[in-house]
């Protein structure tokens, strides 16, 4: 017998909530992501230079090369050799809007769990056993919450150690989702 998304509303909701709490514990109690960012030795001078340019919030790359054909330009090649090569995220000034950010993080988990549920409904039936539901939910959750982050280390200069920590997070979230879906999977009557 097939399982529908509407039958999975509770596991979707609870798995999203449980992942949100797991994320909070990771970032507020365990804090291994504190190693993700480094402090510049000349932070004040760099901050002054950025403030002087008054950039709007966004993602910036320096030196900026809008087209790959410009890489052949001697001036661009010299800038790349001289460095630094950097990606800079500029945020709104002031304290981070934590309510908004935490709400967006919850929506990330909720939508991720909805996607996992969708794959489960087209793959599993109500006759599926605990381990079958767990294995599928675990793999799809890991792909949903983690694997897509690797290009940040491949292309954007994020240290591989950062990606490894995010993959550990994804394994935790995958275990949480898989356990929740397996526990609450509708069985044939």
Task: Tell me how far apart the alpha carbons of residues 135 and 130 are, in angstroms, rounded to a whole number.
Answer: 9
Judge whether 177 and 15 are in contact, CB under 8 Å.
Answer: yes
In a domain, 125, yes or no: yes
Chain segment 131-147, per-residue pLDDT in tens: 999 999 999 999 999 99
H helices within 2-97, ranges in order? Answer: 9-25, 43-53, 74-82
In a domain, 15, yes or no: yes
Residue among 77, 84, 141, 72 nearest 110 (CA):
141
- The number of folded domains in the chain is 1
To the question of pTM greater than 0.75 for the whole model, the response is yes
Residue 188 has pLDDT above 90, yes or no: no
The distance in angstroms from the start CA to the end CA of the chain is 10
Both tokens assigned to 182: 């397996």
Q: Which residue has the tokens 């790349």?
A: 80
In a domain, 86, yes or no: no
In a domain, 45, yes or no: no
Whether omega before 63 lies within 30 degrees of 0, making that bond cis, reads yes
pLDDT given at position 28: 95
Task: Tell me how far apart the alpha carbons of residues 171 and 177 are, in angstroms, rounded to a whole number.
Answer: 10
In a domain, 50, yes or no: no
In a domain, 46, yes or no: no
In a domain, 147, yes or no: yes
**Where in the sequence is the domain holding 132, given as residue range(s)?**
5-39+96-184
Residue among 101, 97, 119, 113 nearest 16 (CA):
113
Chain segment 64-95, per-residue pLDDT in tens: 998 989 889 999 999 999 999 999 999 999 99
Both tokens assigned to 15: 């798995």
Judge whether 113 and 16 are in contact, CB under 8 Å.
Answer: yes
pLDDT given at position 80: 93
Task: Tell me how far apart the alpha carbons of residues 159 and 36 are, in angstroms, rounded to a whole number.
Answer: 8
In a domain, 91, yes or no: no
């Amino acid at each position: 017998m097939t399982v529908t998304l509407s039958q999975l509303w509770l596991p979707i909701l609870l798995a999203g909530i449980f992942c949100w709490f797991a994320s909070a514990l990771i970032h507020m109690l365990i804090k291994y992501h504190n190693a993700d960012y480094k402090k510049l030795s000349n932070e004040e001078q760099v901050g002054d230079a950025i403030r002087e340019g008054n950039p709007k919030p966004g993602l910036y790359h320096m030196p900026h090369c809008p087209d790959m054909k410009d890489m052949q330009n001697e001036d661009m090649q010299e800038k790349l050799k001289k460095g630094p090569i950097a990606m800079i995220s500029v945020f709104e000034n002031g304290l981070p809007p934590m309510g908004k950010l935490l709400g967006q993080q919850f929506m990330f988990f909720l939508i991720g769990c909805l996607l996992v549920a969708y794959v489960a409904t087209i793959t599993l039936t109500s006759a599926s056993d605990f381990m079958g539901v767990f294995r599928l939910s675990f793999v799809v959750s890991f792909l949903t919450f983690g694997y897509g982050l690797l290009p940040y280390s491949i292309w954007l200069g994020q240290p591989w150690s950062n990606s490894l920590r995010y993959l550990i997070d994804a394994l935790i979230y995958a275990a949480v989702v898989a356990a929740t879906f397996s526990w609450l999977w509708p069985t044939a009557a």
